[in-house]
Copies of this chain bind each other. A is one copy, B any other.
Amino acid sequence: MESLKERIRRDGKNLGNGILKVDGFVNHQVDPILMDACGMEFARLFENVGATKILTAEISGIAPALMTAKYMNLPVVYARKRKPVTMPDQVFLTLAPSHTKGRMVELIVSPEFLANGERVLIIDDFLASGATILGLVRLAEIAGAEIVGIGALIEKGFEGGRGALEALGVPVESLACIASLEGDSIVFCE
């Protein structure tokens, strides 16, 4: 998606060690107009997968998933990393390694909002190693739900996450794919 790539070129920063700083428009300060356009694009890409629910992970998946949900007129569930007091005692829980936190984090969904037979579209901000998204996949599987598609705003093509997701046999779409973050450059996929 050209407008997202253009924004990454303009405001993204390669911090080294494979870290792309996009906190001026994605995950600290958010550009709602850009995020709305990304949601519209995901809705177009996944219009025929028959999704009944959108699933993401707090925190930075919420904005793109919410905008996608609006265009698809579907509820969106964000997996919590801590169990709030409002959640029942029995939950769906899995562990996923967090690249940016350098440790395992919990991903928790209430059984009230992820049901057997549900058709789940996963939307997140980044597809890097795929670890977080695979955590969401496991949550859906525990619930007896089916994954029907996976979308990420930004794919780090050099981290191999797409390969890890291919076994699922569902469409995997990213709106901007980064081929490499060598030196201080940001090189998009061909």
Q: Please list the residues of chain A having a beta carbon within 8 angstroms of any beta carbon in chain B.
A: 15, 19, 21-25, 27-33, 35-36, 58-59, 62-63, 66-67, 69-70, 73-78, 80, 82, 84-87, 100-101, 109-110, 112-113
Contact = CB atoms under 8 A, between A and B. Distances in A.
Given A24-B112, A59-B58, A66-B66, A86 B30 contact: no
A113 B29 contact: yes
B23 A70 contact: no
27 contacts: A15-B86, A19-B85, A21-B86, A22-B86, A23-B84, A23-B110, A23-B112, A23-B113, A24-B112, A27-B84, A28-B78, A28-B86, A28-B110, A29-B77, A29-B112, A29-B113, A30-B69, A32-B66, A32-B69, A32-B70, A32-B75, A32-B76, A35-B70, A59-B80, A62-B62, A62-B63, A82-B101
B78 A100 contact: no
A78 B59 CA distance: 10
Contacts of A101: 82
B75 A100 contact: no
Contacts of A110: 23, 28
A118 to B, nearest CB: 11
B113 A35 contact: no
A104 B19 CA distance: 30
Contacts of A33: 70, 73
A25 B24 CA distance: 28
Contact of A30 (B22, B73, B75): B75
